[in-house]
Amino acid sequence: MTVQALQSDESAPFSWLFVWFMVFVHVGALFSFFTFSWSALALTVFLHWVTGGVGVTLCYHRLLTHRSFTVPKPLEYFLALLGTLSMQGGPIMWVAHHRIHHAHSDTSKDPHDSSKGFWWSHMGWMFFQPKDRMDYELYSRHAKDLARDPVHRFLNRFMLPLQIAFGLVLYLIGGWSFVIYGIFVRLVLVYHTTWLVNSACHLWGYRSYETDDRSTNLWWSALLTYGEGWHNNHHAMPRSARHGLRWWEVDMTYWVIWTLARLGLARDLQLPTRP
């Protein structure tokens, strides 16, 4: 079945809501200079991995988008909740957009077409939000498997309330320092490291495989994104649960998947099909 592209160009409506949300999050992160504590910093590092590494990289990307492996449904829902806390869209929206990216990588039909430059693919594309990218009835057609699931529909709909509830929990545990570092600082870091896969990993680095796109392998992006930076490997074999293929291509996310498999919690692992 052919996947239709989502519109993603400057002719789409400009989203001031997105602008002000980004300003709010980044300004909120600046309060970290006044609320610093080592425990709050450690919380940020931990939650960066939990929401960005486990939630986005492992769950949203390798599990839900590409079905590189399977896990029991309760665990899938918990992992999807972690992805939801990354505030990059609910599971249905994220998966739909990423499947479109793979179907039309680096073309005008790609939501974050890297041929338009670094800043467009990094975050500029999100400032323009066409209806077919934001309307649930339209984008959910590209993630019908998730749209049929009531739990994923719930997570997709209540992303913001869940984040607020999480912030309240952090406040009860560690006060405003935990809120600033656990929400604002963590979101800024997760955003920009995740977005590097769309931008930097389509511009710089080396290519191990010839693919019909600009995907590259970029070591420092891989370190920041727990293995996602081996992006050319991924585009060559999208279903593979393992992205780092050479001995020095560190893929921490695959280590987690491998551990889950050893524990009997992950099955049907899809492994590289090319040398």
DSSP assignment of 192-204 equals HHHHHHHTGGGTS
How far, in Å, are 18, 60, 93, 139 from residue 142 at the CA level? 23, 14, 9, 6
Within 8 A by CB and 6+ apart from 263, the residues are none
Residue 10 has pLDDT above 70, yes or no: no
Residue 12 has pLDDT above 80, yes or no: no
Nearest alpha-carbon partner for 121 in 235, 199, 180, 13: 199
Does the pTM surpass 0.85? The reply is yes
Q: What is the pLDDT of residues 208-225, one digit of tens each?
A: 999 999 999 999 999 999
Tokens linked to 45: 């590092």
How far, in Å, are 210, 233, 273, 275 from residue 241 at the CA level? 20, 11, 11, 15
Average pLDDT in the chain = 93
Q: What is the pLDDT of residues 42-72, one digit of tens each?
A: 999 999 999 999 999 999 999 999 999 999 9
What pLDDT sits at residue 44? Answer: 98
Residue percentage of the chain with pLDDT more than 70: 96
Sign for the CA dihedral angle at 109, 58, 176, 33 comes to negative
Nearest alpha-carbon partner for 18 in 106, 123, 127, 120: 127
Residue 5 has pLDDT above 60, yes or no: no
Tokens linked to 178: 């935990």
> Rounded mean pLDDT of 189-197?
97
